[in-house]
Amino acid sequence: MSVEFTEDQIDAGRRLFGGPSRFIMGVAALDQLPPSEGVEIAFAGRSNVGKSSLINALTGVNELARASNTPGRTRELNFFNVNERMTLVDMPGYGYAKASKAEIKRWQAVLKGYLRGRPGLTRAFVLIDSRHGIKSTDEEMLQLLDESAVAYQFVLTKIDKIKPAELEEVLASVQAAVKKHPAAFPVVHATSSGKATGIAELRAEIAGLL
């Protein structure tokens, strides 16, 4: 399912992200979490899915979110303030981590604690690489979000890397997955950070959460 946004909605998104955005802090343990203030949204996705690029494209600030040189190495929740009106949270990429079982278990506990106990967390956006679709590692995150009762929404990334027919195919498969997950929001966004495709619409979606 896709949706058309009005000019007013697009303008609201532009104004929200037209102000200053800044890094607040990185958090590696639950007792380090900053106070929950207002609307908070989180971005989740496999390593190398394009989370940092998407956050930078949304805010218009190059290198606001920085990708780790080693995929799967980042083990922090990174918090960003958007125009003093909203908090964005960049969750660590999953799927590549070369960590001990104890370290993975510890980090999963932090993630579960954040998702289940964060009062301002309004929505999570789960990024899916349009070239690969939903993988088993994504399913683990979806299950965690379902169990945590966090409303979430799919965002396809890197759509400039595939042909229109392939995009239609992956959109159909993701929309079929939406129906299997009770906490999933039906609208799927298709984006390209490099080409700015779908960025205005995603900004409008996020502004609507205010």
Instruction: Give the DSSP letter string of 22-73.
Output: EEEEEESSGGGPPP--S-EEEEEEBTTSSHHHHHHHHHT-TTSS---SSTT-
Give the contacts of 147 (CB within 8 A, at least 6 positions apart): none
**pLDDT tens column, 149-177:** 899 999 999 999 999 999 999 999 999 99
Question: Confidence band (pLDDT; 50, 70, 90) for 2?
Answer: low
Q: What is the pLDDT of residue 156?
A: 98
Q: Could you tell me the CA-to-CA distances from 180 to 2, 92, 176 in Å, in that order?
A: 18, 25, 7
Task: Give tens-digit pLDDT for 22-33.
Answer: 999 999 999 999
pTM: 0.93
Distance CA 133, CA 173 (A): 8
Higher pLDDT, 60 or 2: 60
Tell me the pLDDT tens digit for each residue of 68-126. Answer: 554 444 678 999 999 999 999 999 887 755 667 777 778 788 888 999 889 899 999 99
Q: How far apart are CA 41 and CA 207, in angstroms?
A: 11
Residues pairing with 88 in the sheet: 41, 80
Please report, to the nearest 10 degrees, the dihedral formed by the alpha carbons of residues 163, 43, 134, 196 taken in order.
0
Domain ranges of the chain: 7-208
Distance of alpha carbon 83 from alpha carbon 21, whole angstroms: 6
Yes or no: is domain 7-208 CATH 3.40.50.300?
Answer: yes
